[in-house]
Amino acid sequence: MFPTIRHITIDCSGDPYDLGLFWSALLGRPLSDDDKPGDPEAVLDLPGGPGMLFVRVPEGRAAKNRVHLDLQPTDERGMNAEVERVQRLGGRILHDRRTPEGRGWVVFADPEGNEFCVERSAHEYATLGFDT
């Protein structure tokens, strides 16, 4: 028998609840009813996959993430609209890797500096004639 991934854990030096609220708004999923501001951890359950666990740690982030999430919009408005939405939520663009022919992605930092990427939607890839 093999294990399953229960949580993707993200360390934070601030309030895990606040960071959880950013990801909650980004992914459209509520934080656990048990989580409150000031708690040492917060959980975001994701349907069909591992949840996200935000845990307070004493140290700040020292280097680039070795693991990050790649997000693909499901909204028909696509990547550019998602990039704008992420910025409105408080995500900060670190690198814009979009190319003129339609490939590429945008690297973001969440409010704690953890990196993640936004890619093109499957619809955009199909419209451009690219495999996802």
Name all domains of the chain by residue range, CATH numbers in brackets.
1-60 (3.10.180.10), 61-132 (3.10.180.10)
Instruction: Name the residue among 118, 114, 94 with its Cα closest to residue 53.
Output: 114
Q: What are the residues whose beta carbons fall under 8 Å from the beta carbon of 24, sequence distance 6 or more?
A: 30, 31, 44
Residue identified by tokens 């199909």 is 126
Minimum mean pLDDT range among 19-28, 73-82, 122-131: 122-131
Q: Is the pLDDT of residue 132 over 70?
A: no
Residues 15-27 as b or e (16 or more Cβ within 10 Å = b): bbbbbbbbbbebe
- Six-digit token string for 57: 């740690």
pTM score over 0.85: yes
For 38-57, the pLDDT digits (tens) are 999 999 998 888 999 999 99
Task: Give tens-digit pLDDT for 94-116.
Answer: 999 999 888 899 999 999 999 99
- CA dist 59 → 14, 24, 35, 64 (Å): 10, 24, 22, 14
Q: Per 3-state DSSP, what percentage of the chain is helix, strand, and coil (rounded to 5)?
A: 25, 25, 50
